[in-house]
């Protein structure tokens, strides 16, 4: 099979032929149709400090994908050849306390697809049946394959956005990357009153408006407090979603949050963050960390949202044949676009 390959602990990928993966008794073999390029993939490509400490090279990277099942192991019960599927990228142990309690996204022995085991930047990928999500009623010829390929980050957006009740609430989203953009669409779809998105990229702020934001604020030229005044808000935001990882984002959120406000934090800070803990206590602020997707409650929510009319397709701004992966990675690294997708039917 053709694949992007990380042959050693060093920058770069190679476009090579790799052996087809074997399908075990409880595994599913999937022919990859589309993959999304994630920030994690950029870290692995560049081989930064995070990648050096986290990635088990050599391996095939990539964890956002959709594809068609071509083989199932003898012990597979519910997945069938021909199904259109995506994959939950966290392969869990099943026996730690969190796994046994139904909190599998908090497994202490998680092995991540494309990070600790071979991933989806290839024509074929193998996953345990327990990590395969079948798109109900969809086929490779009827589904929006680009959207199916980004169910993993879409799940991050849904997990974060639905952490707190949103109906009638005023929501602030800091960071207009692809996940923040999809979260804006989710908040609008489920009934938030106002949705405000902040960022520093004009193209991404324009995407935020297309995804349903009432206001998209460039924080280099305006403030979140300005957004409140423009919308006629008097008590601050009820819910905030921190998606940027900027060290200044969380303090700015606290300065613009109502008493009793709630914050879901998905963005990984790029530097230490200093916040006013006295305000957190005296204003009874809830701050909740978010990791991945709830397995598989978030996946059911994603499918239900799409079936009820949610459209996240505008977040996908660029599509390339897999063989043009170098160009695709440069576009993704530029930070001015939405989601970048590779088409693996064109290798």
Binding residues for NAD(+): 179, 199, 204, 266-268, 290-291
**Dihedral sign computed on CA atoms, order 89, 91, 96, 97:** positive
CA-nearest of 36, 35, 43, 9 to 268 is 43
Following DSSP, what letter does each residue of 254-292 receive, concatenated? HHTEEEEEEEEE-SPPSS-----HHHHHHTT-EEEE--S
Which of the following is catalytic: 43, 90, 135, 337?
43
Query: Is 40 tagged catalytic?
Result: yes
Alpha carbon distance 154, 182 (integer Å): 6
Query: Is 43 tagged catalytic?
Result: yes
| 205 touches 212 (CB < 8 A) | no
Residues 107, 113, 117, 118, Cα dihedral to 10°: 170
Which of the following is catalytic: 40, 110, 160, 174?
40
Burial letters for 134-168: b for 16+ Cβ neighbours within 10 Å, e otherwise? bbeebebeeebbbbbbbbbbbbbbbbbbbbbebee
Mark the binding-site residues for Zn(2+), compressed into ranges. 38, 63-64, 93, 96, 99, 107
Which pair of structure tokens corresponds to residue 17?
A: 């032929």
Residues ≥6 apart with Cβ < 8 Å to 338: 178, 181, 204, 207, 314, 315, 316, 317, 318
Residues in the chain: 347
The residues annotated with a catalytic role in the active site are 40, 43
């Amino acid at each position: 099979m053709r694949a992007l390959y990380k042959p050693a602990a060093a920058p770069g990928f190679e476009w090579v032929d790799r052996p087809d993966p074997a399908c075990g008794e409880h595994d599913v073999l999937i022919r990859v149709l589309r993959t999304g390029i994630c920030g994690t993939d950029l870290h692995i490509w560049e081989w930064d400090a995070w990648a050096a400490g986290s990635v088990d090279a050599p391996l095939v990277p990539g964890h956002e994908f959709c594809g068609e099942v071509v083989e199932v192991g003898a012990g597979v019960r519910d997945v069938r050849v021909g199904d259109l599927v995506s994959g939950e990228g966290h392969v869990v142990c099943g026996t730690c306390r969190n796994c046994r309690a139904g909190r599998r996204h908090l497994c202490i022995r998680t092995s991540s697809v494309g990070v600790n085991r071979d991933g989806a930047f290839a024509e074929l990928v193998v996953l345990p049946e327990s990590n395969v999500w079948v798109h109900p009623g969809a086929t490779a010829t009827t589904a929006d394959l680009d959207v199916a390929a980004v169910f993993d980050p879409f799940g991050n957006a849904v997990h974060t956005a639905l952490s707190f009740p949103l109906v009638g609430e005023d929501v602030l989203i800091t960071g207009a990357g692809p996940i923040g953009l999809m979260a804006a669409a989710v908040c609008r779809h489920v009934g938030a009153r106002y949705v405000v998105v902040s960022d520093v990229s004009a193209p991404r702020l324009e995407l935020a408006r297309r995804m349903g934001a009432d206001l998209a604020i460039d924080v280099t030229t305006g403030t979140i407090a300005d957004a409140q005044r423009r919308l006629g808000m008097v008590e601050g935001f009820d819910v905030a979603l921190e998606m940027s990882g900027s060290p200044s984002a969380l303090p700015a959120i606290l300065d613009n949050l109502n008493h009793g406000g709630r914050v879901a934090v998905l963005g990984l800070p790029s530097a230490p963050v200093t916040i006013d803990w006295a305000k957190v206590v005296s204003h009874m602020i809830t701050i909740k960390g978010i990791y991945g997707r709830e397995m598989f409650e978030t996946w059911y929510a994603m499918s239900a949202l799409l079936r009820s009319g949610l459209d996240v397709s505008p977040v996908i701004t660029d599509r390339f044949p897999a063989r043009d992966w170098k160009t695709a990675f440069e576009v993704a690294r530029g930070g001015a676009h939405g989601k970048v997708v590779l088409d693996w039917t064109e290798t």
